[in-house]
C-alpha cells in the first residue's frame, strides 16, 4: 500500500513514521510512504501556497492551482489513487472507514492548513473529505498520521499474533476490560482473586462482565451496536445488566 502525504510541513511527519510498527512495516515493504512538499508546486516567485479569501475576512485559503499540482505529481509518481482531504468539515473517521481504506492500493492524503482550501480544489480533485473528531487541530498533518497508523495495522502481516486486530476494543464494539500484571499488590491494592483461579471459563466471564460495565459507564452509546450470544445474555441477566443494555439498544433502533 502506498500513502502519499501532501503537506507544507513534511518534517512534522518524520518521527511518527520512523518508529515502532510503522517503521517495521516500511522496512518490510508492506507500506510505502512518500511525503510531498506542497510548496514545491507553488507558481509565483514568493512560493505562495495560500492567499486571502475573496469576499474578505479572517485567515488565508490554500490555493487550488498549487494543491492540484501536488496531487498530479503524486499521481505521476505512484499512479491513480484515492484523494482524501483532511479537514474539520469532513465525514467522521471511524474504524469502519479505516477498514474500507485498508482495501485501497494508493491513498493521497492532503493536509490542510490555515482556514481551509479553495472550494474548487475540493470539487475537482478530492474524492473524500475526512475529520478525525470534534476538536480543533492546527492542521491536517497529525490527522494524516492517525489514518496511516490505523490503516497500516489492518494490513495483512503487519501485526504479530500477540496484537492481533480482532481482539481489540472496537472489533466487537465493547471497551477492553481492565488488566493487571506484577506486582500482585500495588499501593495496597490487590488484583481480583478470580484472575489467580486458573479457571478460564470464570476468568472469561469476569472479563466479559468487566468489559460490559466499563462500556456502560464510559461509552454507553457503543452498546447500541453490539450483539450478544444466548450464553452472554444469560450472564448479563444473572448480573442485572440485561435491562439497561436492552434499553440502550432500542433507543437507537
Query: Contact with ligand 9D3 (CB under 6 A): which of 2, 21, 64, 137?
Result: 137
Residue 106: strand pairing partners: 2
Binding mask of the shown chain, residues 33 to 72, with x at each position contacting ligand 9D3 by CB under 6 A: ----------------------------------------
Residue 10 binding ligand 9D3, by CB under 6 A: no
Per the listing, cell 490555515 goes with 114
Q: Would you say 94 or 214 has its CB closer to ligand 9D3? A: 94
DSSP secondary structure string for all residues of 157-204: TSS-GGG-GGGSHHHHTSPPPP---SSS-BTTBPPPGGGGS--HHHHH
In sequence order, which ranges of the chain are alpha helices (DSSP H)?
A: 14-17, 20-27, 64-78, 95-101, 119-125, 141-152, 169-172, 200-218, 230-238, 242-252
Query: Contact with ligand 9D3 (CB under 6 A): which of 123, 136, 230, 253?
Result: 136
Q: Which of 153, 172, 207, 213 is catalytic?
A: 153
For 120, the grid coordinates are 474548487
* Piece in contact with ligand 9D3 (CB under 6 A), picked from 66-74, 94-102, 132-140, 211-219: 132-140
Rounded to whole angstroms, the Cα distance separating 253 from 249 reads 6
Q: How many residues bind ligand 9D3 (CB under 6 A)?
A: 15
Residue 153 falls in the annotated catalytic set = yes
**DSSP secondary-structure letter at 87?**
E
Q: Which of 75, 88, 128, 232 is catalytic?
A: 88
Residue 178 falls in the annotated catalytic set = no
Three-state secondary-structure class, residue 77: helix
Shortest reach from residue 133's CB to ligand 9D3, in Å: 5
List Cα–Cα distances, 57 to 25, 29, 51, 61, 113, in angstroms.
44, 46, 12, 11, 16
Q: Would you say 44 or 115 has its CB closer to ligand 9D3? A: 115
Query: Contact with ligand 9D3 (CB under 6 A): which of 6, 17, 22, 132?
Result: 132
**196-205: long-range contacts, CB 8 A cutoff, minimum separation 24:** 205/235
Query: Contact with ligand 9D3 (CB under 6 A): which of 8, 71, 86, 98?
Result: 86
Do the Cβ atoms of 76 and 41 come closer than 8 Å? Answer: no
Q: Would you say 31 or 144 has its CB closer to ligand 9D3? A: 144
Binding mask of the shown chain, residues 141 to 160, with x at each position contacting ligand 9D3 by CB under 6 A: --x-----------------
> If we measure between CA atoms, which residue out of 210, 207, 208, 225 comes closest to residue 96?
225
Residue 23 falls in the annotated catalytic set = no
Residue 105 falls in the annotated catalytic set = no
Which residues are designated catalytic?
A: 88, 115, 153, 168
Footprint of ligand 9D3 on this chain (CB under 6 A)?
86-88, 112, 115-116, 131-133, 135-137, 139-140, 143
Amino acid at each position: 500500500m502506498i500513502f502519499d502525504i501532501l503537506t507544507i510541513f513534511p518534517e512534522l511527519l518524520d518521527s511518527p513514521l520512523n518508529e515502532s510498527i510503522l517503521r517495521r512495516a516500511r522496512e518490510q515493504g508492506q507500506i510505502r510512504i512518500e511525503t510531498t512538499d506542497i510548496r514545491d508546486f507553488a507558481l509565483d516567485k514568493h512560493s505562495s501556497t495560500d492567499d486571502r479569501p475573496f469576499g474578505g475576512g479572517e485567515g488565508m485559503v490554500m490555493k487550488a492551482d498549487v494543491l492540484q499540482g501536488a496531487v498530479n505529481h503524486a499521481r505521476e509518481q505512484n499512479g491513480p489513487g484515492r484523494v482524501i482531504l483532511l479537514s474539520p468539515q469532513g465525514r467522521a473517521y471511524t474504524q469502519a472507514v479505516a477498514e474500507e481504506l485498508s482495501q485501497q492500493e494508493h491513498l493521497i492524503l492532503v493536509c490542510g492548513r490555515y482556514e481551509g482550501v479553495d472550494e474548487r480544489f475540493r470539487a475537482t480533485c478530492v474524492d473524500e473529505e475526512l475529520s478525525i473528531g470534534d476538536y480543533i487541530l492546527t492542521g491536517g498533518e497529525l490527522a494524516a498520521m492517525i489514518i496511516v497508523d490505523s490503516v497500516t495495522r489492518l494490513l495483512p502481516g503487519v501485526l504479530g499474533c500477540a496484537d492481533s486486530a480482532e481482539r481489540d476494543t472496537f472489533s466487537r464494539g465493547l471497551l477492553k476490560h481492565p488488566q493487571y500484571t506484577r506486582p500482585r499488590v500495588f499501593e495496597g491494592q490487590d488484583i481480583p482473586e478470580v484472575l489467580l483461579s486458573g479457571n478460564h471459563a470464570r476468568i472469561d466471564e469476569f472479563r466479559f462482565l468487566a468489559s460490559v460495565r466499563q462500556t456502560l459507564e464510559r461509552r454507553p452509546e457503543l452498546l447500541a451496536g453490539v450483539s450478544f450470544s444466548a450464553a452472554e445474555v444469560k450472564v448479563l441477566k444473572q448480573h442485572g445488566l440485561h435491562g439497561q443494555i436492552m434499553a440502550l439498544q432500542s433507543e437507537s433502533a
